Amino acid sequence: MAGLNLTVYSIDGVVPVVDPTAFVHPSAVLIGDVIIGPGCYIGPAACLRGDFGHIEVRAGANIQDTCVLHGYPGLGTIVEEDGHVGHGAYCTAAASSATASSA
């Protein structure tokens, strides 16, 4: 992530956390309770909204261009280690593993 201009938004004092080895495209939007793990890729125009529930993108996972991940109260949205969410997918209160293209 070195050298990138990354903007994140807090909700109720909760600020997204991004591992320094992750790549988050400058046009991606991270809001609230979002954790991006090591070696992750977050593509252009992706929106990860942890405003209602927790979002976690685990080590090596990638979220492609224009994806929307949205939390739901009491349920997390988790992309497992080496998981992949394909271009333009919408996920809410779901889990994605390395074998699923989107949840």
Domain boundaries, the chain: 8-96
pLDDT given for residue 37 in this prediction: 98
pLDDT band at 99; cut points 50, 70, 90: very low
CATH homologous superfamily of 8-96:
Hexapeptide repeat proteins (2.160.10.10)
Distance from C-alpha of 13 to C-alpha of 102, rounded to nearest angstrom: 30
Distance from C-alpha of 27 to C-alpha of 20, rounded to nearest angstrom: 17
Contacts of 85 (CB under 8 A, 6+ apart): 61, 62, 63, 64, 67, 69, 79, 91, 96, 101, 102, 103
Check whether 43 has a pLDDT greater than 90.
yes
pLDDT given for residue 98 in this prediction: 56
pLDDT in tens, 45-59: 999 999 989 999 999
pLDDT given for residue 93 in this prediction: 79
pLDDT in tens, 64-95: 999 999 988 888 899 999 999 999 999 887 76
Length of the chain: 103
Of the candidates 19, 17, 23, 32, the residue with the CA atom closest to the CA atom of residue 1: 23
Check whether 103 has a pLDDT greater than 60.
no
Give the distance, in angstroms, between the CA of residue 98 and the centroid of all CA atoms in the same chain. Answer: 15
pTM for the structure as a whole: 0.87
